[in-house]
Amino acid sequence: MTISSTPAMKGRVLIAGATGLIGQFVAEASLDSGRPTYVLVRSCPTCPTKAKVLQSLQDKGAIVLHGSISEKKKMEEILRENEIDIVISAVGGEKILDQIALVEAVKAVGTIKRFLPSEFGHDVDRADPVEPGLLMYKEKRLIRRLTEESAYFVAGTDIGKFTMKTVDDVRTLNKSVHFRPSCNFYNMNELASLWEMKIGRTLPRVTVTENDLLAAAAENPIPQSIVASFTHDIFIRGCQTNFAIDGADHIEVSSLYPEEVFRTLEECFTDFALRLNGMVIGNTTEAANPSPVVEAFAITASCA
């Protein structure tokens, strides 16, 4: 969404959802670019992880503002008093419709040069997941329509970096910017083989059929059902690859910045393998004779 066609050069940035996974990368990239960066939080986070992220952003120079994107008048006040130029929303699925009030506040203020809604995923107008994922996409489509009225794998750090590059780029005005790094184009079997190469052993394979995914989407509680829904849309329907990027309203980020290098999935897997190895070594309660059973370790992904 663009209120003004004037390029926003090092303008003040307000980020909603900055303590989330994607929002953190965007906020860090904004700070690294030298822009005055404001992060919006409802209150002091009670979640230790989010509190740690917020403190880290503050230590790097972020300015914390308190408020909710669902409160139009409060957002108007925040945008005006802090002379915000760029608004970026990275809120999660449960807050998608809260962006309606934020869009209205942006329009009312009239001085915002760029507004980026929370669409750090598939093209919501092209993807067609089964429920419950479809409901989330319908909500995102509604926000996209409001702003218009006025399987590739990408590292989170790259999402942040390229997001901040586009806010200053007149070539991206009112366009959908797609991420399709050719170095990170994999199917599921290739992903499994790459991971096996990194950990140095062959893992047992379990075939998950389309019907399995549809059943998981229909029967599991949220968020597992949404994960199954989106997995089906990506790997069965091919929502990331079944269309050409053409027309005046769409552009691929690599064509904008050919000199920039994406972090590869192989590099990400190398990091994951090192972290996994550290978890195994650090387990002092493990028996002297290791079990032959393959165990699954929960790892928080930093890029996907």
- Catalytic residue numbers, as ranges: 140
Written as one string, the DSSP assignment of the chain is --S--S---S--EEEESTTSHHHHHHHHHHHHTT--EEEEESSS--SHHHHHHHHHHHHTTPEEEE--TT-HHHHHHHHHHTT--EEEE---GGGGGGHHHHHHHHHHH---SEEE-S--SS-TTT--PPTTHHHHHHHHHHHHHHHHH--B--BHHHHHHHHHHHTT-GGGTT-EEE---GGGB--HHHHHHHHHHHHTSPPP-----HHHHHHHHHHSPTTHHHHHHHHHHHHTS-TTTSS---STTEEEHHHH-TT--PPPHHHHHHHHHHHHHHHHHT-TTS-SS--SSPPP-----SB-
